[in-house]
């Protein structure tokens, strides 16, 4: 059994009177880790350490700050095996997934490490009698709260740009998947990050998470998780008048036009809703298909889906569902889909003959004949479940895609460049891919509508971790 405790001011901090949360491996449903449960006192200790470190870190020469971040990226890559296995064990990922997510985590530190000297202000032409300029300055202590689905990657996504801008961070990962955030903090200190610049506190959202976002000395919060919690944190941030980045859920449309390379589209669309067993905020869980190719696409994607291997072996494609609550929630959608009249093509509630041991696995499930009003077309399922909706014209496709409370991502498959530009411009979503469905560290990422606000990734994220100061000198 692994044991994880808070990491504060450059070293582990264990509170002897703290309670413990036992987290299970979703592949076996057996206990694998003991996680310390922090409270308001733990959070306060972390923020005090953060503020002490901020006095030094904000003035560290930017090139040196960048070098430390780049070194963290290198060390993450060197530790890929350990980090990938830890996330796989705690979140139920397939072994193939680990290296992909670790690589992205390393890239965040390299990318932002290279930006510490750039784009931190502008000279404004206020006439020859003035020297007017802006400076991007750090906020101070940032709270980064992450969910259980992509633990290391999401921690790195928030932490790297915040540190690059000269802030200090307290990160609160999900209690189900806390291991890699603690390991990341250890790695950071080994790479020369001063104590207190990056702390990790562990615990539940209701106690530790809430204490973090409510702490009077936190100057900004970045939250990734559910809409419900995002709303709750939004109220707290509004009361405290601090900025907030919210990365919430999605119900992203993935559109295959008649002129698409169908085999390419099938391969990408399958990965779009089965990667990480569908537990991805940007999953392409609504597949919109042009009516003339609808039957062909349904047939081919079902054949491809049946070939995916479920489990924890090295060659498995689809892993387990991270939490028992989420496992039950996904199963609830099978009855809802049936009641709403969707046609089950594969997967679904029948788990009868599968050789999956005790793992929390859900079969890859595809419904055809889905209409935009059905609940499986409107609600985020967060599992390997796809609804396929036919459309007639380009305008129909855009209308159906935009008929959603969410607006995180969308995918388009077409060989027609003009159409790709037209449709991409008309879809209300923050990240749109054409002829692939892959994430990218370099591009700003975030939602329209209930998918959230603010942006992570890209240079935008760096800007979100800075406040602008204008200086206007009369010469
Ligand atoms: P969640 O909202 O329950 O929890 C997310 C994190 O917030 C956890 O660390 C949790 O402990 C903490 N938390 C819970 N209540 C809190 C509170 N009152 N105050 C402060 N912190 C609190 O979400 P989850 O169930 O862990 O994750 C799944 C959800 O996250 C899905 O809805 C998914 O769409 C969303 N998600 C979004 C993105 C994105 O980038 N947009 C990425 C991953 C997951």
**In this predicted model, what pLDDT tens digit does every residue of 426-437 receive, in sequence order?**
999 999 999 999
Distance 416 CA to ligand 1 centre (A): 38
> Region 445-467: what's the mean pLDDT?
97
- % residues pLDDT > 70 (the chain): 99
> Region 371-385: what's the mean pLDDT?
98
Distance 221 CA to ligand 1 centre (A): 13
The active-site residue out of 25, 191, 208, 281 is: 281
Round to the nearest angstrom and report the end-to-end CA distance of the chain: 67
pLDDT tens per residue across span 155-164: 999 999 999 9
Report the 10 Å Cβ neighbour count for 241.
Answer: 6
Would residue 428 be called left, alpha or beta, if left means φ above 0 and alpha means ψ between -120 and 50 degrees? Answer: beta
| pLDDT for res 103 | 97
Question: 0.85 exceeded by the pTM?
Answer: yes
| pLDDT for res 360 | 96
pLDDT tens per residue across span 282-330: 999 999 999 999 999 999 999 999 999 999 999 999 999 999 999 999 9
Q: How confident is the model at residue 354 (pLDDT cuts 50, 70, 90)?
A: confident
State the chain's mean pLDDT as an integer: 97
210 lines ligand 1 (CB under 6 A): yes
Q: What is the DSSP code (8-state) at residue 293?
A: G
Which 3 state secondary structure label does DSSP give 121?
Answer: coil
158 lines ligand 1 (CB under 6 A): no
d(CA 348, CA 342): 11
Q: Which residues are within 8 A (CB) of 130 and not within 5 positions of it... i.e. 6 or more apart? A: 472, 473, 474, 475
> Region 170-186: what's the mean pLDDT?
98
| CATH numbers and ranges of domains, the chain | 2-248+451-474 (3.40.605.10), 253-440 (3.40.309.10)
Please state which of the ranges 73-82, 117-126, 266-275 shows the lowest mean pLDDT.
117-126
- Protein residue whose Cα sits closest to atom 40 of ligand 1: 247
Distance 245 CA to ligand 1 centre (A): 13
The active-site residue out of 89, 101, 247, 380 is: 247
The pair phi, psi for residue 121, each rounded to 5°, is 155, 175
**Per-residue b or e along 31-44, where b marks 16 or more CB atoms closer than 10 Å to that residue's CB:** ebbebbbbbeebbb
| pLDDT for res 352 | 64
Q: What are the angstrom distances between the C-alpha of 213 and each of 55, 207, 268, 383, 463? A: 21, 10, 38, 28, 20
d(CA 56, CA 272): 43
453 lines ligand 1 (CB under 6 A): no
d(CA 231, CA 143): 16
| pLDDT for res 353 | 62
Q: CB–CB of 199/171 below 8 Å?
A: yes
> Region 28-57: what's the mean pLDDT?
97
């Amino acid at each position: 059994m692994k044991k994880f405790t808070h990491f504060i001011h450059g070293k582990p901090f264990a509170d002897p009177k703290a309670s413990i949360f036992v987290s299970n491996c979703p592949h076996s449903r057996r206990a694998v880790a003991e996680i310390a449960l922090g409270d308001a006192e733990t959070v306060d200790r972390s923020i005090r350490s953060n503020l002490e470190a901020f006095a030094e870190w904000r003035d560290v020469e930017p090139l040196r700050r960048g070098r430390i971040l780049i070194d963290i990226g290198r060390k993450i890559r060197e530790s890929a095996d350990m980090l990938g296995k830890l996330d796989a064990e705690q979140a139920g990922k397939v072994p193939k997934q680990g290296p992909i997510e670790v690589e992205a985590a390393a890239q965040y530190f390299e990318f932002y490490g290279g930006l510490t000297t750039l784009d931190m202000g502008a000279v404004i032409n206020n006439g020859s009698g003035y020297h007017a300029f802006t400076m991007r300055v750090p906020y101070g202590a940032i709270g980064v709260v992450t969910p259980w689905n992509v633990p290391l990657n999401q921690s790195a996504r928030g932490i790297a740009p915040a540190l690059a801008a000269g802030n200090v961070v307290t990160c609160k990962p999900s209690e189900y998947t806390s291991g890699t955030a603690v390991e990341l903090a250890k790695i950071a200190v080994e790479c020369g990050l001063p104590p207190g610049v990056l702390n990790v506190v562990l615990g539940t959202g209701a106690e530790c998470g809430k204490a973090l976002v409510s702490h009077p000395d936190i100057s900004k919060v970045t939250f990734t998780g559910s809409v419900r919690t995002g709303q709750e944190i939004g109220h707290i941030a509004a009361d405290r008048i601090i900025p907030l980045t919210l990365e919430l859920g999605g119900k992203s449309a993935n559109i295959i036009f008649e002129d698409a390379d169908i085999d390419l589209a099938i391969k990408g669309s399958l990965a779009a809703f089965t990667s990480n067993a569908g537990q991805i905020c940007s999953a392409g869980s609504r597949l919109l298909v042009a009516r003339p190719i609808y039957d062909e696409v349904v047939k081919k994607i079902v054949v491809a889906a049946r070939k995916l291997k479920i489990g924890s072996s090295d060659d498995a494609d689809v892993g387990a569902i991270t939490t028992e609550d989420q496992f039950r929630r996904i199963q609830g959608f099978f009855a809802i889909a049936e009641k709403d009249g969707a046609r089950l093509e594969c997967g679904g509630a029948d788990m009868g003959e599968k050789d999956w041991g005790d793992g929390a696995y859900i079969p890859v499930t595809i419904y055809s004949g889905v209409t935009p009003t059905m609940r499986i077309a409107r609600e985020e399922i967060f599992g390997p479940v796809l609804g396929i909706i036919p459309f007639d014209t380009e305008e129909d496709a855009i209308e159906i895609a935009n008929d959603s409370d969410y607006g995180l991502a969308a995918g388009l498959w077409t060989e027609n460049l003009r159409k790709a530009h037209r449709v991409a411009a008309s879809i209300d979503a923050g990240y749109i891919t054409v002829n692939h469905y892959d994430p990218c560290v370099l591009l700003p990422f975030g939602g329209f509508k209930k998918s959230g606000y603010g942006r992570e990734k890209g240079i935008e994220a760096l800007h979100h971790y800075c406040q602008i100061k204008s200086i206007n000198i009369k010469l």
